Amino acid sequence: MERNQRTSRDKVILITGCSSGIGYGVAHGLKARGWRVFATARQTADVARLHAEGLESVGLDVTDSQSIRAAVATVLEQTGGQLDALFNNAGYGQPGAVEDVSRDALRAQFETNLFGALELTNQVIPVMRRQGRGRILYNSSVLGLVAFPYRGAYVASKFAMEGLADTLRLELVATGIHVCLIEPGPILSRFRDNAHAAYQRHIQGANSPHREKYAAMEARLTKEGPAAPFTLPPEAVLKRVIHALESPRPRPRYPVTMPTYLFAILKRLLPASMLDTLLRRAGGEGRR
């Protein structure tokens, strides 16, 4: 067998943010397919839980350079230097009107959603270059393509992720390393709980001209069950991740859920002012 044609049985992947949601679902799904999965999480209790569930798990906080270096070293030590794929999945949404987002809140959003992924990816690329193969996946979003109101910090981090990944793909051409963007719309996960916590941590809603919208937004973030139409379970993301990892010709982009397909097309077709009207409505002016 050529060195570029391993089966999923002996392939190794590192995934960030596996304590819940998409990372959790993808980690279990890939393990069931025969991948050797290093399901990382930042909390010790989550690492222990993932271990107890039969996954190989390592602590990794993407905002901490030391933690990134240690996790990569541990994985490589355990695999004899092999790492076939990386899924940059860890992230959260910082809600809030742009005029209410502080520099600190935006910095925190980028530290987690982008800078961590950049640093981790740059640790992994030399390993993949030596192997002559590799897959680097980024968990972007429909909000990496279009903006919704009251999500400016998150939208900015995912637009930046799209730019970074697109550039990296151009630079890694002919290295055997493929770079793919996964672009989910609404997926059932702990995303809204964690977004609500970020809202409470960073946004002074009571003093804002947007306070009425924030009340509606908090109701959405704390609602049980799906809060948006076309919400899918994490398995929908898993399907696209499997294609990105295992297809001989992975695609640069993998839209997941109807809203992503729709907005990707509308962005190309509609004039900006019409798209704005639609995005304001789809974003529920903060209510959705």
Ligand X SMILES: NC(=O)c1ccc[n+]([C@@H]2O[C@H](COP(=O)([O-])OP(=O)(O)OC[C@H]3O[C@@H](n4cnc5c(N)ncnc54)[C@H](OP(=O)(O)O)[C@@H]3O)[C@@H](O)[C@H]2O)c1
Q: Which residues are catalytic?
A: 154
Of 196 and 243, CB closest to ligand X: 196
Nearer to ligand X, 16 or 131 (CB): 16
9 closest CA partner among 30, 27, 34: 34
Q: Quote the strand ranges of the chain, DSSP E.
A: 12-15, 36-41, 56-59, 85-88, 134-139, 177-184, 253-256
Report the residue number, 81 or 229, with the smaller CB distance to ligand X: 229
Residue 159 and residue 76: Cα distance in Å, rounded?
Answer: 31
Q: If you compute the radius of gyration of the chain from its CA atoms, what whole number of angstroms results?
A: 19
The C-alpha atoms of residue 21 and residue 234 are separated, in whole angstroms, by 6
Residues that bind ligand X (CB under 6 A): 16-23, 41-43, 60-63, 89-92, 112, 139, 141, 184, 186-187, 189-191, 194
Closest approach, Cβ 258 to ligand X, in A, equals 13
CA angle 228, 99, 165 (to 5 degrees): 60
Please state the closest distance from residue 211 (CB atom) to ligand X, in A. 25
- Residue placing its CB nearer to ligand X in the complex, 155 or 203: 155
Rounded CA separation 62/181 (Å): 18
Which pair of structure tokens corresponds to residue 222?
């704390």
Give the phi and the psi of residue 53 in degrees, each rounded to 5.
-85, 5
Nearer to ligand X, 12 or 182 (CB): 182
Closer to ligand X by CB, 56 or 131: give it.
56
Structure tokens, 188: 């059932």
User: Minimal distance in Å, beta carbon 60 to ligand X?
Assistant: 6
Beta strands in 123-185 (DSSP E): 134-139, 177-184
Pair 140, 22: CB distance under 8 Å = no
CB of 40 to ligand X, least distance (A): 7
Q: Which residues contact 231 (CB under 8 A, 6 or more apart)?
A: 185, 186, 187, 188, 257
Minimum CB separation of residue 250 from ligand X in Å reads: 19
70: Cα separation from own chain's centroid: 21
Tokens 């959003």 appear where?
A: 109
Nearest distance from C-beta of residue 278 to ligand X, angstroms = 19
